[in-house]
Amino acid sequence: MPYTRFPPCERGRIHALYEEGKSMRAIVAALGWHCTPIARERARNGHEGLYEAEQAKLRYRARASRQVDCTCVFSHAHGS
């Protein structure tokens, strides 16, 4: 299965379900996603055990803006 980013509406649903005190299994069932990407999303974008959709979006964007274009680095290292 290809990697898929969480759309903002899904982050909002994750946030709401966590706020309601739902378990990971209940969130997985409600969203229809596998537990791994939801757990990864919370681990990467949560803070101090909390998950907030707006903060998650900001953390994701900050990480994405720091990523290096690997094709450029790879091509340069191999004389292309």
Q: Does residue 1 sit within a domain?
A: no
Span 34-67, pLDDT tens digits:
899 888 888 877 777 777 878 887 888 887 787 6
Q: Does residue 30 sit within a domain?
A: yes
Q: Does residue 20 sit within a domain?
A: yes
* Percent of the chain surpassing pLDDT 90: 19
Q: Does residue 24 sit within a domain?
A: yes
Does residue 47 sit in helix, strand or coil? strand
Query: According to the model, what pLDDT value does residue 22 have?
Result: 92
Q: Does residue 28 sit within a domain?
A: yes
Query: According to the model, what pLDDT value does residue 66 have?
Result: 75
Q: Does residue 3 sit within a domain?
A: no
Number of domains in the chain: 1
DSSP 5: P
Span 7-43, pLDDT tens digits:
778 888 988 998 999 998 999 999 998 899 888 888 8
**Domain of 31?**
8-77
